[in-house]
Amino acid sequence: MKYFVHNSFEVSSMSMNPLNTKLYTSFSNALVIDDDVVDSMITKIVLTKAGFANNVIVYNSIPAVIDYLGVVSSEEYPQSVFLDMDMSYQKGFDFLCFLENYPSFLKESCYLYVLSSSFTMMDTKRLYRFSRVCKFLQKPMTRQLVWKLMDSLES
C-alpha cells in the first residue's frame, strides 16, 4: 500500500511522519472519460501527480470505455471514474444509464465523479437520479481539488 502527502512526496507505510502531514491512500486504477484530449490529459496528469491513483486510464469515447470494461479483469477495474458530462458524440448521461444496468464490480464499488465546465440546473437535477454519482467537479481539474476529494474519502 502506498501513501502520499500533499506535496506528492511518496513515503512508505512504515515511515514516521514528523511534520504531522496528512497521509492519503492512493487507488490502484482510475478511469477518465472525456472527449477533449487536452482536458483528459490535464485530469490524468493532476490525478497522477497528486497521488490519487497509481494508474490513470483515459478514454475519449463512451463506446471505447464500454468495450474496455467488457474485457478488463476485475483486478484492473477502476476504483474511481471521472466522467465528462458534455461530450460531443455521446453525453455522460448515456454512460450513467449504461452503468445503472451494468451488474458488476464497477457498479457497486467505484467512486463516480462527474466533470463539467458548466452545469445547468436541469443537468444537476438529472444527475441526482443516479445513486453512484459522488460529486460534481468543475473543470479543469486541479491538484487542490484532488486533495479535497482525498480528504473527503479519508473522513
The residue ranges of every structural domain in the chain are 27-154
Q: What integer pLDDT is reported at residue 105 of this predicted model?
A: 53
Which fold, 27-154? Rossmann fold (3.40.50)
Give the Cα separation of 34 and 40 in Å (integer).
6
Q: What angle do CA 100, 110, 113 make, to 5 degrees?
A: 85
Mean pLDDT by 10 residues, the chain (155 residues): 41 38 71 95 94 93 90 87 85 83 66 83 75 85 90 78
